[in-house]
Structure 1
Amino acid sequence: MPEISSKGRQMPASPIRKLTPFADKAKRDGKKVFHLNIGQPDIETPEGMLNAIKDIDFKVWAYTPSEGTLAYRTKLAEYYNKLEYDIDPSQILVTVGGSEAITIAMQACVNEGDEIIIPEPFYANYNGFACMSNVVVKPILSFIENGFALPAISEFEKLITPKTKAIIICNPNNPTGYLYSREELEALKVLCLKYNLFLFSDEAYREFCYDGREFISPMHLEGLEENVIVLDTVSKRYSACGARLGCLITKNKEVIAAGLKFAQARLSPGMVEQIAAAAAVDTPDSYFEKVNKEYTLRRDTLVKRLNSIDGVFCPNPGGAFYVVAKFPIDNADKFCQWMLEEFEYDNQTVMMAPATGFYSSAGTGSNEVRLAYVLNVEDLEKAMTCLEKALEAYPGRKS
């Protein structure tokens, strides 16, 4: 029998989705499963975005330009310039989801075997994208005890070699919800300029910042224009994960030109998605204010309940809609699978993502779990009661 590639063997499974077969079986067995494993919001997609799809009238469902339609890129520039990014449509490359924006950035900027530094825990699929691009991830640990703040710049410098080409940050962070401060970003700016590094800024959760905290993008930092690459998506902002539409933004002309060649190789992003997303730019601020208020309530509910459980510690995140919590357990992967396979309370159980998959360093995150607060408060309360009972019953509980 022919063998699969070494890359196929090395490609990591998603910690967010790998337990799905166990959740499916739990449902077939009649259990209600509370899905806290994946960032699929239950918030309604803006009406204007959906209406734009309903009102479409074309005779041929055609290719679009590889970089995205000018109409959509013009609307995107309008959105980003309200955020003071000071860009024009030529500095935007429309991608098939934020995932493609990340892979194009890696392939356009980093040679095979070169290194990217990423504070961990980080979005699990960065490992997969790096594998696809033959890029080496150099993780740098952040710690739950201080809420996963950015590690000291001196720790970054210890990892820098002649092969280091970029640093990736996700702000607000997935999976921790940590929101980077201006001071932390200014420190990264100095480092990137000193060592001539790209700074990839994954901003999928830009709209979700809480308690009046300020979102700062590297795009706001003067003097870093040639180094910054923003990676974005409509998935979370407009609760439109299934649209699979993202973008890469940079003022670096060489990066745009190189990225466009990769975009041309995959032909084009979808026409319908761009029509819908162009309409979404006109979503009123009231929509985001309502969503922000709802997520704040969910965050507060989840964090309070988690920290009330004996042996559990959960920092209070400043953004996104995730938390990473430390549980009194022997192994997060075993515990999350046990929850689906063997546990139920009132015929209910909870699906979560073991945090091991959000780390690259061996042996890290073994007693940590990521939970997404994408369900309504009533369901979150039920899920937390279920989790509390599970931790009392789990055979691998640690004191």
Structure 2
Amino acid sequence: MRRCFGSWQNLGPTVVDWRCAVKLSDRGNAMPASPIRRLTPLADAAKAKGIKVFHLNIGQPDITTPPEMLEAVKAFSDPVLSYGPSAGLNETREAMAKYLRGIGVDVSANHVLVTQGGSEAILFAMAAICDPGDEIIVFEPFYTNYSGFACMLGVHLRAVQTKVEDGYHLPPVAQIEAKITPKTKAILWSSPGNPTGAVFTRQEVTALVELAKKHGLYAISDEAYREFCYDGHVATCVLDVAAELGCSDRAILIDSISKRFSACGARIGFLVTKNEELLAAILRFGQARLCPPTLEQYAATVGYSVIDKYVPPTIDEYRRRRDRVMEGLAKIPGATCAVPEGAFYVQPRLPVGDADAFAQWLLTDFQKDGKTVMVAPGNGFYATEGAGAEEVRIAYVLKEEDLQIAMDLLVEAIKQWNQR
């Protein structure tokens, strides 16, 4: 037993056991909160007061999941819900491989691992190729979980900034190459982009894969929004480019059913690579977490059988929603925004000074007719200190009439914020 000072009761010195000295790890203390979810307690408090909150902060679509997927879960009749293979059900892996072959990518089910969402695929990829202190090149603003997973693993993100004025497309290759050091292990990107909506051209993806090949790096492409491209833009698959350049062993594809089938809660993702050594290492990580969810894999397998029927009208719906959001942003004097080419996000720069404080104020001090809007502060999508301070991420995942109300609220809120 030893003396511990400053007990929670403020009663002065108290004799307690050794457990009073237990503290969090440096990793636990350093783990960043997600900008997408960090303000949820404020939103919950607003709702408790009877305020309607329109959630533009999170990529949770309100489009109906394919009913065939839900029926597949209901039809499960085995008497025991048992463990599945750590790599995923064979039929689910084959469904994903068949889908990729349908878009011109030469893969088999043996190249596919099923993960608990695309996020786990990213985590496993980072863990398999990096040691603590290693580096991965990313393009900011980037999907915020890249930062969280890097923190968990002791990996450093080397950020290359893209600009709203350039539509968040890549800077010159020399600027990217200048970030490569002896500790660099991979280049990681998202296209169609979260949070930017940018769709990298085939030339851009080719340049990234060529850099990876030249410097002995992995090329990791997060393609969870592949179908959602607008105005003639087309997503490029990293596996296709790598095969063309003769470096398939350097390419890692991250994918997911979450957005494609509006099935975020199913937590089914995929990691696809032709690098057998890498697949074996990642499978060992998969064995440690046992297996991906079984029922959801049955749903995913069925989902890919109805993709040609389900996805085209979904793309049209998101295009209309994008246009509605852009109409709203056009009403904000001083706002700077690139028209999203894909995905269902937009990352505008708003005339608010401090977007983080503004996002909090929306939930604590602003409401109109009992309604307010929630956005994700843009600084959480950057690794560079101070970057994104005037930006927010907006997810246009609500039906058009709700988006109209939400954008009208945002326009009014900015007026009131700047008149305080």
| TM-score normalized with structure 1 length | 0.98
Whether the aligned pair in 1 keeps the contact of 2:353 and 2:390 (CA below 8 Å) is: yes
SS at match of 1:137: strand
Question: Is there any run of 5+ residues in structure 2 with no aligned partner, and where?
Answer: 1-19
Q: Deviations over 1:165-210 (max 9, x none)?
A: 1000101000000000011111112211110110001011111111
Q: Residue 278 of structure 1 aligns to which amino acid in structure 2?
A: T
Decide whether aligned partners of structure 1 residues 284 and 198 sit closer, same or farther in structure 2, where only a CA change above 3 A counts. Answer: closer
CA drift at 1:396:
7.8
Work out the CA distance in 1 between the residues paired with 2:42 and 2:216.
Answer: 46
Whether the aligned pair in 2 keeps the contact of 1:40 and 1:241 (CA below 8 Å) is: yes
SS at match of 1:159: coil
Q: Which residue of 2 aligns with 1:144?
A: 164
Q: Which residue of 2 aligns with 1:71?
A: 91
Q: Which residue of 2 aligns with 1:317?
A: 340
Q: Is 2:278 aligned against 1:278?
A: no
Q: Which residue of 2 aligns with 1:91?
A: 111
Q: Deviations over 1:333-371 (max 9, x none)?
A: 100000000001111100000000000000100000000
- Say which of 284, 287, 306 aligns to 1:261: 284
Q: Which residue of 2 aligns with 1:373?
A: 396
Q: Residue 182 of structure 1 aligns to which amino acid in structure 2?
A: R
- Say which of 164, 173, 177 aligns to 1:153: 173
- Point out the more displaced range, 280-289 or 353-362: 280-289
Q: Is 2:152 aligned against 1:129?
A: no
Count residues with an aligned counterpart. 397
Q: Which residue of 2 aligns with 1:6?
A: 26
| 1:99-118 equivalence runs, <5 A | 99-118=119-138
Q: Which residue of 1 aligns with 2:4?
A: none
Q: Residue 199 of structure 1 aligns to which amino acid in structure 2?
A: A
- Point out the more displaced range, 281-290 or 363-372: 281-290
CA drift at 1:75:
1.4
Q: Is 2:240 aligned against 1:252?
A: no
Q: Which residue of 2 aligns with 1:387?
A: 410
Q: Which residue of 1 aligns with 2:239?
A: 219
Work out the CA distance in 2 between the residues paired with 1:267 and 1:284.
Answer: 29
Work out the CA distance in 2 between the residues paired with 1:71 and 1:295.
Answer: 30
Q: Residue 112 of structure 1 aligns to which amino acid in structure 2?
A: P
Work out the CA distance in 2 between the residues paired with 1:233 and 1:98.
Answer: 5
Q: Which residue of 1 aligns with 2:218?
A: 198
Q: Which residue of 2 aligns with 1:41?
A: 61
Q: Is 2:315 aligned against 1:292?
A: yes
Whether the aligned pair in 2 keeps the contact of 1:123 and 1:175 (CA below 8 Å) is: yes
SS at match of 1:280: helix
Query: What's the % identity of the aligned pairs?
Result: 49
Whether the aligned pair in 2 keeps the contact of 1:48 and 1:280 (CA below 8 Å) is: yes
SS at match of 1:216: coil
Whether the aligned pair in 2 keeps the contact of 1:34 and 1:350 (CA below 8 Å) is: yes
- Say which of 244, 258, 264 aligns to 1:241: 264
Work out the CA distance in 2 between the residues paired with 1:204 and 1:331.
Answer: 30
Work out the CA distance in 2 between the residues paired with 1:356 and 1:42.
Answer: 26
Q: Is 2:143 aligned against 1:120?
A: no
CA drift at 1:48:
1.1
Whether the aligned pair in 2 keeps the contact of 1:312 and 1:328 (CA below 8 Å) is: yes
Whether the aligned pair in 2 keeps the contact of 1:330 and 1:396 (CA below 8 Å) is: no
Q: Residue 357 of structure 1 aligns to which amino acid in structure 2?
A: G
CA drift at 1:80:
1.1
SS at match of 2:43: helix
- Say which of 14, 19, 25 aligns to 2:39: 19
Work out the CA distance in 2 between the residues paired with 1:227 and 1:39.
Answer: 30
SS at match of 1:326: coil
Work out the CA distance in 2 between the residues paired with 1:111 and 1:24.
Answer: 39
CA drift at 1:307:
1.8
Q: Residue 290 of structure 2 aligns to which amino acid in structure 1?
A: L
Work out the CA distance in 2 between the residues paired with 1:322 and 1:316.
Answer: 10
Q: Residue 119 of structure 2 aligns to which amino acid in structure 1?
A: S
**Which consecutive aligned stretches of 4+ in structure 1 deviate over 2 angstroms post-superposition?**
none
Whether the aligned pair in 2 keeps the contact of 1:329 and 1:396 (CA below 8 Å) is: no
Q: Residue 64 of structure 1 aligns to which amino acid in structure 2?
A: G
CA drift at 1:284:
4.2
Whether the aligned pair in 1 keeps the contact of 2:331 and 2:411 (CA below 8 Å) is: no
Whether the aligned pair in 2 keeps the contact of 1:119 and 1:151 (CA below 8 Å) is: no
CA drift at 1:212:
2.3
SS at match of 2:137: strand
Whether the aligned pair in 1 keeps the contact of 2:112 and 2:272 (CA below 8 Å) is: yes
Work out the CA distance in 2 between the residues paired with 1:188 and 1:396.
Answer: 45
SS at match of 1:235: coil
Q: Deviations over 1:288-317 (max 9, x none)?
A: 111011100000110121022112122101
Work out the CA distance in 1 between the residues paired with 2:206 and 2:357.
Answer: 40
Whether the aligned pair in 1 keeps the contact of 2:73 and 2:298 (CA below 8 Å) is: yes
CA drift at 1:37:
0.2
